[in-house]
Amino acid sequence: MVPRKFVAHPFAYHQELDVRIDNLTNEGSGVARVDGWVVFVPFALPGELVRCRIYRNHKNYSNADLVEVLEPSSERVTAPCPLFGTCGGCQYQHLDYPKQIEWKRRQVEELLKHMAKIEHPVLPVIASPKQYEYRSKITPHFHRPKAGEIGAIGFLRVGTRNAMVDVEQCPIAMPQLNEQLTVVRAEARANQEAFKNGATLLMRAAVNGVLTKADQIAIEQVGEVKFEFQAGDFFQNNPFILADFVGYAVDEAKAAGAQYLVDAYCGSGLFGISAARHFQEVIGVELSESAVRKASHNAEINGLTNCRFLAADAREIFKEVPHAGKDTVVIIDPPRAGCSEEFLQQLFAFDPKRVVYISCNPATQMRDLVLFHEAGFKLEKVQPFDLFPQTKHLECVMTLSR
C-alpha cells in the first residue's frame, strides 16, 4: 500500500533503481545522484553499484532502502553482528575500520565547508584502540508489557523512533556488559508481571565492576587521574581512548599559556581536573547537581585544591570568574544540542585567550562555529577522535583563538 502522504515525484513508491554511490553522509547514508537528484541509501558504500527501493521523496532528495549490492566496494567487510542493518545502534560494521575514520574526517571537512562556510583542514581522526567491545555503558529498553508479556529488550530499530529490536548481545559493548545483559534480560522476563510500564535498563562497566543502579558510584581511571561519578550520570563511554582524548584537550588548553581555566559543561570534572596541574585555578560549571558534587569530590581525591565547581546553567559562569579573559582558557563540552546563544554571547564578551570546543555533534558545533567566526575567533585546529567505532558518531575538538 502506498502511504497516504507519499509524494510521487520524481519516483514512484517502491520504484527500484540501480544507482552508483558516490558519497557517505555524516548520518551514515550512502549518496547517489540520479540525473542530479540526490538519493540516500543507508548501508550502501561509496563506489558501489546498488539496487535500491524508493520509500520517500522530499523537496530535493529521496530516501531509499538498500535491496541488493550489485558491485560491492573493496572496502566492504562482513558485519559481525547478526542485527547489523536492523538495530539502529551501528551504521558502519560493513565498512573496513581504517575507511570508517577516513570518511569521518571527510565528513567533518564537508560540514565545515557547507555549514560553517569555512575551508579548513581537518586532522586525521584518532582511531579507537578497540573497534569492538569498547562501550562501557549500554541502556537497553523495553516497552510496556502487553498482556503481562515483555516484548523486545534492546535498542531502537533502524529508521524508527519507537520500535525496538531484541538484542541478546551487543558486539560494541564490553564483554562484562554482555554477560550482565544475559542475566538482566532473563531477570526482566522472569518478573515480567511486576512491570506495569516499559523500562530502561542501565549497565555501566567501571573499574569497580558492572553497575546497574543509577545512583551507584562508578570509578574510572583516566591517565593519572581517578574519577568517581554516579553510574546514571554522563561519563565518556569509551575508556580505551579516553586518556588520549582528554590528554589532547588538556594540551590544547595549556598551550595557550594562560593561568586560568574555565571548564563549561564539566560533568564530573573530566577535563578541568585532568588539566588542573597546569593552571592556577580551574572553575567548572555544570547543570547536574550530582555531577557537580562529584566534580568537587574528584578534585579532592586527586589532591587538588585549585578547582571549584558551580551547579548552574553554563551561562552563569562568567559572573563567577574573577579573572580577565586574556588570562583564561575556556573548555566547552556541551550536550548534543550545542551551546545556548546566551552562553556564547557572554563567552564572546568575556573574550578568552583560547577556546577548546569539544563536541559529539558536528552539526551543532558547526552552527556555533559560525557565531565564533562572526565574533572574530579564528579556527586553529580541528582534531576528531573516534570514540564510537562502527557508528556514525564522533567527538571533534576545535581550537579557537581571537
Torsion angle defined by CA atoms of residues 124, 272, 223 and 385, in that order, rounded to the nearest 10 degrees? -20
Nearest to 127, CA basis, from 148, 100, 109:
100
Asked if omega into 10 is within 30° of 0 (cis), the reply is yes
Q: Which of 266, 248, 274, 263 is nearest to 386 (CA)?
A: 248
Rounded to a whole number of angstroms, the minimum distance from the CB of residue 5 to ligand SAM is 35
265 is in an annotated binding site: yes
Which of 6, 55, 234, 350 is close enough to bind ligand SAM by CB under 6 A?
234
CA distance 293 to 299: 10
Alpha-carbon distance 354 to 329, whole Å? 5
Catalytic residue check, 360: yes
Closest distance of CB 295 from ligand SAM, Å: 9
| Residue among 91, 55, 54, 95 nearest 72 (CA) | 95
CA distance 369 to 122: 14
The least distance separating ligand SAM from the CB of residue 359, rounded to whole angstroms, comes to 8
Cα 18 to the center of its chain, rounded Å: 33
Is 380 labeled as ligand-binding? Answer: no
Q: How far is the CB of 356 from ligand SAM (least distance, A)?
A: 11
Q: What CA–CA distance (Å, rounded) separates 92 from 35? A: 27
Task: Return the residue of 217, 290, 335, 364 that touches ligand SAM, per CB under 6 A.
Answer: 335
Nearer to ligand SAM among residue 48 and residue 286 (C-beta): 286
Q: Compute the distance between CA of residue 117 and CA of residue 374 in angstroms, rounded to an integer.
A: 12
Residues 291-320: x where in contact with ligand SAM by CB under 6 A, - otherwise, as a string = x---------------------xx------
- Applying CB under 6 A, the site for ligand SAM has a residue count of 19
- If one asks whether residue 243 binds ligand SAM (CB under 6 A), the answer comes out as no
What's the grid cell of residue 302?
586527586
Interface with ligand SAM includes 271 (CB under 6 A)? yes
**Residue with the closest Cβ to ligand SAM?**
267
Quick one: which of 192, 47, 23, 234 has its CA closest to 111?
Answer: 23
The residue (of 228 and 286) whose beta carbon lies closer to ligand SAM is: 286
Piece of 44-52, 71-79, 171-179, 263-271 that binds ligand SAM (CB under 6 A): 263-271
Q: Which stretch binds ligand SAM (CB under 6 A): 109-117, 216-224, 264-272, 348-356?
A: 264-272
Query: Toward ligand SAM, which CB reaches closer, 57 or 328?
Result: 328
Q: Which of 81, 266, 360, 396 is catalytic?
A: 360
User: CB of 389: closest distance to ligand SAM in angstroms?
Assistant: 19
* Residue 236 marked as a ligand binder: yes
- From the number of C-beta atoms within 10 Å of its C-beta (0-12, 13-18, 19+), residue 155 rates as buried
- What does the alpha-carbon distance between residue 38 and residue 40 come to, in Å, rounded to a whole number? 7
Is residue 266 within the footprint of ligand SAM (CB under 6 A)?
A: yes
Comparing CB distances to ligand SAM, the nearer of 228 and 333 is 333
Instruction: Give 168 or 341: the residue with its C-beta nearer to ligand SAM.
Output: 341
* Helix 341-350 vs helix 362-374: crossing angle, to nearest 10: 40
235 binds ligand SAM per the rule CB under 6 A = yes
385 binds ligand SAM per the rule CB under 6 A = no
Q: Which is nearer to ligand SAM, 235 or 260 (CB)?
A: 235
**What burial letters (b/e) apply to 330-357, b meaning 16+ CB within 10 Å?**
bbbbbeeebbeeebbebbbebebbbbbb
- What is the pairing mode between strands 281-286 and 307-311? parallel
- In the complex with ligand SAM, the residue whose CB is nearer, 54 or 211, is 211
Q: Judged by CB under 6 A, which of 265, 348, 357, 385 binds ligand SAM?
A: 265
Does the protein bind ligand SAM through residue 324 (CB under 6 A)? no
Place of cell 544507482: 19
Q: Which of the ranges 32-40, 95-103, 332-340, 364-372 carries the binding residues for ligand SAM, by CB under 6 A?
A: 332-340
Torsion of CA 249, 251, 252, 258, to 10 degrees: 120
Interacting residues with ligand SAM (CB under 6 A): 234-236, 265-268, 270-271, 285-288, 291, 313-314, 333-335
Catalytic residue set: 360
Q: Tell me the binding residues for S-adenosyl-L-methionine.
A: 236, 265, 286, 333
